[in-house]
Amino acid sequence: MNNQTQTDNAENVVLIADFVGRSGIPDLGSRRDLEKSVPETVDQLINAIQRLGRKVIHYLTPDELGRNASKHHNDIIFSIYGGESSRNRMALVPAVCEIFGLKYIGPDVYGRIVAQDKEVSKRLALDSGLETPDWRIIRRLGDLSYLKNFDFPCVIKPLMEGSSIGITQSNLTYNSEQAALLAEQLLTRMDQPVIVEKFIPGREAALSVIESNGEIYTAYSEILIEGRPGFFHDKLFDAEEKANPTKGRTVRNIDNELSSGDMERIKKFLESYGHFGYCRIDGRHLDGKFYFLEMTPDAWINKKGQFVMAFTEKGWRYEKIINEILLSKG
């Protein structure tokens, strides 16, 4: 076996992964299942783990893991579970693991909740010195008055969602009337608070990070459209773009463009956050600065995804990425 993908060979891997189904909802902005996986992603991950010399046991739900927990005290729990409507869904697998004393990859229950709540993670980012767009939280209809004095354009997002759930190009708003209408719709449809965030033009950038066996590995990248520089300057990287990529969309490693100061601030943010296993720090790159938007634990690890391509563009093999993630178990 190649030394780059040598594991400790001590444990099997229990993969928790559910699948996107046929929702019957044509409007991607109304879909609640976008954090679930497509079969291709699960197959890629299982095949890579098997090539690393480990057996894989696949469960669809945290409940299934709980019912079989007694079998897995010597294994590693690896979750890419998406769930759907519960605001606590991303914390369910680590909660099961903590109840039964299982080893798992990724943040603990508290860490998952903090990452899911965009307001809390933004406050941690600010405390770490990261540039962060101005924001307000709309928790009830009476809070819509905040929008009258907000600096536009701004983005309206569900507070507790990832994977662009509830986000299309229409979430980029240019006046208080437009923003209030969308915020009211999201409050009702998503049944959770809404975050109003100043839109930062610029490049769609992210730092992919793996916390592995005492080492921190990073890869800074941008999503771009070949031959169309500035494509995302005035656009959102929304659910429609993720589902139906614009022709020529790719990921480019830009490690040399993240300043040492921003790198240190991101590391400080991660230290304040606690153990994370692997994650993606999402933001915008403008005039040499990184603007923090959110943290994404257990980032999409399809070979075509930004997290993986940030590393493969700098020479890593997919198996090496998965191997280092497996070694990040907490």
Identify the pLDDT of residue 33: 72
Question: Which tokens hold the place of 283?
Answer: 């933001």
- Tens digit of pLDDT for each residue in 75-96? 999 999 998 878 888 999 999 9
Average pLDDT over residues 112-127: 94
How many beta carbons lie within 10 A of that of residue 194, not counting itself? 26
Q: What is the pTM of this model?
A: 0.92
- Residues 159, 191 contacting (CB under 8 angstroms): no
Residue-level pLDDT at 309: 97
Name the average pLDDT for the chain. Answer: 91
Q: Which residue has the higher pLDDT, 22 or 128?
A: 128
Per the listing, tokens 């240190």 go with: 264
For residue range 40-63, list pLDDT tens digits in order.
Answer: 999 999 999 999 999 999 999 999
Q: DSSP letter string over 291-318?
A: EEEEEEET---STTSHHHHHHHTTT--H
Q: Tell me the β-bridge partners of 136.
A: 196
Residue type, 45: L
From CA 229, how far away is CA 254, in angstroms rounded?
Answer: 15
Per-residue pLDDT band at 113 (split at 50, 70, 90): very high
The encoded tokens of residue 110 equal 């508290």
249-253 and 215-225 strand pairing: antiparallel
Domain ranges of the chain: 3-105, 114-130+201-326, 135-198
Instruction: Answer whether 81's CB lies under 8 Å from 62's CB.
Output: yes
Class at the top of the CATH hierarchy for domain 135-198 = alpha beta
**Helix (DSSP H) and strand (DSSP E) numbers for the chain:** 10, 13
Grouping H, G, I as helix, E, B as strand and the rest as coil, residue 184 is helix
Span 150-157, average pLDDT: 94
Write down the CATH superfamily of domain 114-130+201-326. Answer: ATP-grasp fold, B domain (3.30.470.20)
Q: What was the pLDDT predicted at 32?
A: 64
User: CA dist 111 to 91, 104, 115, 298, 320, Å?
Assistant: 8, 13, 6, 12, 25
Average pLDDT over residues 295-318: 95
Q: Is the pLDDT at 237 greater than 50, yes or no?
A: yes
What CATH number does the domain located at 3-105 have?
3.40.50
Residues 263-292, mean pLDDT to the nearest whole number: 95
Q: Which amino acid is at 140?
A: R
